[in-house]
Amino acid sequence: MVPFFTFSVEVLLELSERLPAVGLTNFYGQTELAPLATVLAPEDQLTKPGSAGRPALNVETRVVDDDDIPVGVGEVGEIVHRSPQAMLGYWNDPAKTAEAFRNGWFHSGDLGVMDADGYLSVVDRKKDMIKTGGENVAGREVEEILYQHPAVSEAAVIGIPHPHWIEAVTAIVVARTGTDPDAAALIAHCKQRLAGYKVPKYVTFVDALPKNPSGKILKRELRAAHAHLAAQS
């Protein structure tokens, strides 16, 4: 499965400012959908910033709970799709196929929210949701706040094992060229804009984030590489 995520809002705003004559389009989907699920048109970029748009032609999209019951407007749930362009199944894996297509809908593994106008916003991968101190934290929400800091070029937010919090919210940051931010400054920036439990407990800086050939950040590699941070504190 290769999901295609939407622009960071800050990246979108900067692109719109620098390239005002360019029309930007967001596409979201999975390989299993060959691969398009939703589209955010150029005219919607600034009125629905950060959204993945509305279902593409011949695609039905909804957001459901763990019992596959549709959730209400503004509620987080798993994104599911139904379309004639969806794959027939996983090669030689009927059990995985049945699980992915249970109740007649393809289960993306992504968490999202649908607004009152039918526009979808992707919250995070279901497996990447951070569970800290009894609360759920979507890494993407914290990343959006980090991108608002002028010294942040790229950011990935993960959960690492922690003896007290179960998982600690952790930010892995690539600084913009010519800047020299410190962890305290970024934590203070987040504290002004996020609930306390969402604020990163650790911030570490790297030269580059690991990515696959399609440009998706490999958070599993980051979790493995930085799992030691809690032990050092």
Mean pLDDT of 120-142: 94
> Is residue 84 located within the same domain as residue 19?
yes
Instruction: State pLDDT tens for residues 100-113.
Output: 999 999 999 999 99
Q: Residues 51, 79: one domain?
A: yes
Q: Which band of pLDDT confidence, cut at 50, 70 and 90, is reported for residue 72? A: very high
Q: Are residues 66 and 143 in the same domain?
A: no
Which among 104, 103, 100, 79 has a CA at the least distance from the CA of 6? 79
Within 10 angstroms of residue 199's Cβ, the number of other Cβ atoms is 21
Tell me how far apart the alpha carbons of residues 146 and 155 are, in angstroms, rounded to a whole number. 7
Q: How many distinct structural domains can be found in the chain? A: 2
- CA-to-CA separations, 198 to 77, 92, 186, in angstroms, rounded: 19, 41, 13
Chain segment 133-183, per-residue pLDDT in tens: 999 999 999 999 999 999 999 999 999 999 999 999 999 999 999 999 999
Residue range(s) defining the domain that contains residue 226: 129-232
pLDDT digits (tens, 9 = 90+) for 50-68: 899 999 999 999 999 999 9
Position 179: which residue type?
T
More confident residue, 190 or 215: 190
Q: Is residue 1 part of a domain?
A: no
Instruction: Give me the pLDDT at residue 214, please.
Output: 80
Q: Within this chain, do residues 25 and 118 fall inside the same structural domain, yes or no?
A: yes
Q: What integer pLDDT is reported at residue 2 of this predicted model?
A: 39
Pair (185, 111) in one structural domain? no
Note whether 28 and 49 are same-domain residues: yes
Residue 2 lies in a domain: no
pLDDT band at 15 (very low <50, low <70, confident <90, very high): confident
CATH number at residue 213: 3.30.300.30
Does any domain span residue 168? yes
Terminal-to-terminal C-alpha distance of the chain:
36
Mean pLDDT, residues 192-199: 98
Q: Are residues 141 and 165 in the same domain?
A: yes
List C-alpha distances in Å: 162 to 92, 131, 200.
Answer: 38, 11, 13
pLDDT band of residue 6 (cuts 50, 70, 90) is low
Whether residues 118 and 199 fall in one domain: no
Q: Is the dihedral of CA 75, 77, 82, 87 positive or negative?
A: positive
Strand segments (E) across the chain: 26-29, 36-40, 54-55, 60-64, 77-82, 106-114, 120-125, 130-132, 135-137, 152-162, 166-175, 202-205
Q: Are residues 140 and 227 in the same domain?
A: yes
Domain end, chosen from 88, 106, 126, is at 126
Q: Is residue 151 part of a domain?
A: yes
